[in-house]
Amino acid sequence: MQNYLRLLENNKRWAEHLAADDPEYFKRHLGGQSPQFLFIGCSDSRVPANMLTGTDQGELFVHRNIAAQVHPNDLNLLSVLQYAVEVLDVHHVIVCGHYECGGVRAAASDRSFGLVDNWLGGIRQVRRLHQRELEAIPDETARLNRLGELSVIHQIYNLTLTPIVRQAWERGRRPLLHGLVYSIGNGRLKELVRGVDGPDKAEGLLPML
């Protein structure tokens, strides 16, 4: 209970601090939101989207799930994507994985982890597709990190196959799709994919898959 009460106290101090520095801060956000970015990231508590991108309230529209997956039958993600693209008109969609990802580690194992195995099937497929490359990496940590990178690239490609993104591209070359991976060890983002904004660039991802 003490940890829970700490959250409420932290919130009170945070709100009072912002209001003292800028009395209009919260009022400015009452009229709606106009973020330029949809950030699809991992649910891991060590990957705080606004903090690692240095963005403020209202700048990121965020969806998080285990291992930052883009499944074609995930109505939660597709609903977020549709709202971000068709209503908020975001300019950029970012898939951000991270090193030391528990979901990636689980998918790299042959063990069963219960219900989550269904969710991790996509990463296991990536593992099979890139088996030769991954087995050539002797260090386990480096091998898992590479699997995480490959997963991000595959999620970008999965986005390019959604009718939501395809129809948006027919209206104009937006949104731009980007793939990043975050290092918990040093706080830095590594860019894997930049600016996929049409079917031609989507096809350009295939040599990486």
pLDDT tens digits, 86-110: 999 999 999 999 999 999 999 999 9
Q: In Å, what is the CA distance from 51 to each residue of 72, 112, 144, 165, 183?
A: 29, 34, 25, 27, 13
What is the arrangement of strands in the sheet containing 60-65, beginning at the earlier edge strand? 60-65, 37-42, 92-98, 176-182, 189-196
Q: How far apart, in Å, are the Cα atoms of 96 and each of 144, 169, 177?
A: 16, 22, 11
pTM summary value: 0.95
CATH fold, domain 33-208, is: Beta-carbonic Anhydrase; Chain A (3.40.1050)
| 187-193: average pLDDT | 98
Q: How far is the C-alpha of 205 from the C-alpha of 199, rounded, in Å?
A: 10
Structure tokens at 201: 């660039």
Domain range annotation of the chain: 1-31, 33-208
Tens-digit pLDDT profile for residues 18-54: 999 999 999 999 989 999 999 999 999 999 999 999 9
What's the 3-state SS for 146-161? Answer: HHHHHHHHHHHHHHHC
Catalytic residues: 42, 44, 46, 98, 101
